Structures are given as C-alpha cells and as structure tokens.
Chains A and B, each alone.
Chain A
C-alpha cells in the first residue's frame, strides 16, 4: 500500500473521480445553453424539425428576424423591387418578405443595460458605504438594524408587487428607468450590505488608520485604501446584483411596457408567422446572455485573486 502520500492531499484516484463528476455535470448543464445557441443559428424550418437536427446549415435568419420588422409580400411585388442591397435583405426576400424597419429589440436591450448596470452600481456603492459604517462604527442598535435589513429578503420580492405598482403609479415612476433602478437596488441592497460587511470586517482597520495618520480624511482613506482592498467582495457582490437585476422578469412585466421595458419580458413576445419564431428567440436569449457572461468573466480575476494576501502578518 502506498503510504507516502499526505493525508491532506486527495489521492490521484479521488481527484480523477472528482474531475469526472465535474465534467459530466458541466456537460449536462451546458446542453440547454448550447441548444439555445444552436437554435439561434438555425433557420425556421430546421429549428422545429423532428427528429431535432444536431448538424445543420448555419443561418443568421434568427438574428435578422430578431432585429427587424418584416411584412409578407406577393411574389409580383417582390419582383418589381430593385435588387436587394445587402445580405440580410436578400435573406428576408428569399422568405417572400421585406424589411419594414428595425425591431424594438435593441431598445429593450439597452434598457436592460442601463437598468442592470445602473442598479448594480447603486447597490454596490450604497452597500459598500453602509457595510463600512456597520463594520467600523458604533452604530446604535447595530444588530437589530442588520437583521431588519436582512428581513427584506425573507419574502419573495413579488409579494409586494401590488403595493409597489400602486406606489409607482402615484409617484410617476412606472415604466421609467429610474423607477426600475431604484426597485432593483432596493431588492439587492440588503444582500450587498451583508456580503460587503463580511469582506470589510476582514480588512484590518489599521489600513485606514495609517492613511488617516498620513493626512487623509476618513472618506479619502475609504476610497483610496479600503475600497481597493475590498475589490474581491465588490466583484462578488456586483456579480450577484447584476445577475438578479439582469434576469428579473416579474417586476419588469408588471411595471414596464414601452419606455423602460427590459429584454426579459420582450423576448417571449417575439412571434413569427404561424407560431413562435424559435431562431429569433434563440438569438435574443443568446445576445441576452452575453453581457452578464462577459461581466462575470471580467470580474472573475478579482474573485480569484486574493489581493490582500501577504500584506498583513497575522
């Protein structure tokens, strides 16, 4: 028997088992996502063909349909038109349709961006300030306040949908970017405060004391010394907040229709002729997935890098 290995290190056999489990799990979870991306590159017919096509001729029809409004025309009318100016017009004509204008998708998409990033920034910024205060100062009733903040997460946010709907109508916040940013910030803030407080507690207070002795005010010390070291926590918090506000559906359906509608309630309304336009929906969800994925990848290096490592001897 091999007795030379450390008891702290898993054996190579258990490492292999672990790797196998992780790979199998990854493949299973990636199937719906890869199916979605595949669907977005299929044409309308191959998307609904049975048995499902795994190998298919890629087409950008889904993306063209997602981004344009089209109308069906008679072959005579199409013949009377000048030849198509570009590849997507050609693609649409081949389906006996003409492009009548851009769809609302890009507008909804940028609404999602504004509201998603806006509320993420607000949650993290306000959360960091509150977490710092809770972590460093003698706040009266600190524990009760923290519990109170957490208690806002104890019911599903949608439980207060009706009061919020009425409140927003009275306040004129319905269907506005500001209204949605405030709403998502309120929902995310308690999570942000709790997460960030944990990270702030880990930062020794000597850092800002050193900065304050060096002539900086507390606020300057907070921005120059504490925040850079809380980057790991800020990244983690930002990802959580971003994922929530980016994916949120129920409030978006309820509170937005035109001006501030985000992508989640818009995508299911993409309906083609004679049924759902699956490639366009696939294209919409694929595009919808990208920003939050890129955001997470960018911040991932902060999650992995313990930047305070080695600076303080404990």
Chain B
C-alpha cells in the first residue's frame, strides 16, 4: 500500500481540457473520494492514475515511483469499474484467479488466495457459478474480489455502486467501508453521489470543470466550503445563497439584507466585488417572531425526522430545516434568522468564500 501524489496533472482531448493543472496527495491507507458532477474530470483523473489514459502533462507518483507514463499493467493497482467488467465467459473462480495467473503464481497459491478473498467478501459459495446467474450485489463483490486477490498498491473505484439499486447501495457502502478498515488499502473512489462520498470518505476532493476545488475531510467540506460551487453541490437541500449588493470589508461583522440586519462572523478579508453572496445552510436558520427576514411559507416537506420549509421572501426562496414539532401552515407569514455563526460570505467575483472568524 502506498501514497498517491499527482503533480500539475493535465489532460486534454483535442481542444477540450478535461483535467486542469491538478495537484493532490492521497495518503497511505486513506479512503479518498473524488466527487463532482458528470464531466468534471473525476473519472479522467482516476483513469490517469490507473494508466488507462496518459496525462498530457504532469506527474503521478505511486509511492516514490513516478508512474505517469507507465502502462496500466506495470503499475500494480486495481480498478473496479462501474459496469463491473466481469469476464462473462469465465465463472467466478476464473474471474478471481485471472489477475493472479498473469503474475505466475502457483496453482495452489492462486487457490488459497481466491478462496481467502471469496471468504472475506462472502461469495465463497458462488465460486463455481456463472457470472450471468449472479445478482447485482454479488457481481459487485466479485468485482471487488478480483481487485482484492492481487493485493495491489492501491484500489481505484469508478462509481462501483452506481448501477445498484438504492437498498443494495446502502448495504454495499457499509461493506466497502468495513472492507477498507479490514485491509487498510489506499482507495480512490469516484462518485457523483454526495451521500456516498460523505459516508465513505476519509477525505473528499470536490471537482468541477476539470479543477479540484477543495480537498478536505467531509465535515470541513460540508461546513466550511471554499467555493460557492462546493457549498451548493454538497448538502441536500443545498445551501441558501442570498444576494448581497454591497462590498464586504475587513472587520465587518454585520450585514443588511432587505432592511434586516444580520450579524455575521467577523470578516478577515475585503471582497473584490460589490455583488457578493451570503451563504447559510438550511439547518442553521430558524423561525423567529421578530427581527428576522420576513416571508411567507411556500412549501413544507416532511422528511421524517426533520421538516424543510420553503419560505418565499422578497429576495427569493429560502429553505429552512426545522424541528419536526414546529407547526406551520402554507402562506403563513414568518420571519427567519440565523441560529448560529455558520455563515459564509462568497465573493461574487471569484466565487471563493471570504476568510472570517468562522472560516478561519
């Protein structure tokens, strides 16, 4: 197992640049998730680490070795595909032993290793089955097993749970996490599903437009997003953004929106633009009787443990996540205010969050 490091990595397909000048360090034994919308370059990055695409420029280190231009077969990594890519003309046992045969292992060693992996993944009773007779979850386990048997330096997974149905996906998520803890392998995992990313990752890198916007632990990504895109991509429902038609200056600690004054964490930075955004997550807003932003209730979504209330204000719709006990009717007039200090100001020009007491 080893650390993966990418330095100034770039990949262009003709005129289109899929990955722009990316830098990233994935630590040994880490479960690292590349998260982003489709077309953001996350899969291309993963395929370059795997050796399925060659970088246009930049370097990839696997451990201490620079592998950027090596063939996939020379890198000693394993890859789990979204479509599993199990060989349909072989049974489960042959699928699992296929990588080992190439490496010249003895028949007995192959047998023990395959059976070990099968046991770990609880597919040992399926070893002689045909691939076509397996369920989606079992196929996924075989695909993982094929990655596992070789004990590679790193596991790369490209949306491996993407094709499973919701129920299975949750189960496999748990299994993946447990498997990762058991074998402690460096894992790079690509997904567009933020819930999957949040529940699996030690660290997440959010990508958009070929760039890595932020690489941090899930709670930091969620609470202290570095850009407006990260803030909007993570969280369901997403963060509320309120237009602020004034410049933000250093030391500023309150802001006026629609004649309502809001206290904001003390700002450490001056904004470059005069059109900025006030960002706050729905759960950090609460209803109040006076002194808040006025609006009327537009919709109430019942989520079991929480309620999401959409409130129509003069400055647009704002979502508030409240306690289930709050009784509220449609079209009722309410006022909202932040319930804590988790407020982020995003610079309208750079889309980056401004440094503040909260965003240290």
Residues of chain A touching chain B, judged by Cβ–Cβ distance below 8 Å, are 204, 206-207, 209-217, 220, 225, 228-229, 307-314
Contacts and interface: CB of A to CB of B under 8 A. Distances in A.
A212 B88 contact: no
29 contacts: A204-B83, A206-B81, A206-B82, A206-B83, A209-B79, A209-B85, A210-B79, A210-B146, A212-B71, A213-B52, A213-B75, A213-B78, A213-B79, A214-B98, A214-B99, A214-B146, A215-B73, A216-B73, A217-B73, A225-B87, A228-B89, A229-B89, A307-B89, A310-B88, A310-B133, A311-B131, A312-B84, A312-B85, A313-B83
Contacts of A220: 102
B86 interface: yes
B81 A209 contact: yes
A270 B77 CA distance: 67
A311 B91 CA distance: 11
Contact of B72 (A206, A212, A308): A212
Contacts of A228: 87, 89
B278 to A, nearest CB: 44
A311 B73 contact: no
B77 A213 contact: yes
Most B CB atoms within 10 A — which of A307, A311, A314? Answer: A311
Given A211-B87, A213-B79, 16 more contacts: A204-B83, A206-B82, A206-B85, A207-B85, A212-B71, A213-B73, A214-B73, A214-B146, A215-B99, A217-B73, A225-B87, A229-B89, A307-B88, A311-B86, A311-B87, A311-B131
B163 A209 contact: no
A-B pairs with the 7 shortest C-beta distances?
A311-B88, A310-B132, A214-B99, A206-B85, A215-B102, A210-B85, A228-B89
B236 interface: no
A209 B52 contact: yes
Contacts of B42: none
A309 B83 contact: no
Nearest to A211: B98
B132 A216 contact: no
A312 B86 CA distance: 8
Nearest to A310: B132
Interface string B51-66: 1100000000000000
Interface in B282-313: none
B134 to A, nearest CB: 8
B83 A312 contact: yes
Chain B CB within 10 Å, residue with most, of A210, A212, A220: A210
Given A310-B131, A310-B132, A311-B132, A213 B51 contact: yes
Nearest to A227: B89
Contacts of B86: 311
A199 to B, nearest CB: 14
B150 interface: yes
Nearest to B47: A209
A307 B87 CA distance: 10
Contact of A210 (B81, B132, B139, B163): B81
A162 to B, nearest CB: 47
Contacts of A212: 51-52, 71-73
Given A204-B83, A310-B132, A312-B84, A213 B89 contact: no
Given A211-B98, A213-B72, A229 B50 contact: no
Nearest to B76: A215
A211 B136 CA distance: 21
Contacts of B50: 213
B88 A229 contact: yes
Interface in B28-65: 50-52
Nearest to A216: B102
Nearest to B77: A213
A214 B78 CA distance: 7
B103 interface: yes
B132 A313 contact: no
Interface string B91-120: 000000011001100000000000000000
A217 B87 CA distance: 16
Contacts of A211: 87, 98
A207 B85 CA distance: 5
Interface string B322-357: 000000000000000000000000000000000000
Contacts of B77: 213
Nearest to A210: B85
Contacts of B73: 212-217
Contacts of A308: 88
Contacts of B79: 209-210, 213
Contacts of A225: 87
Contacts of A314: 83
Contacts of B89: 228-229, 307
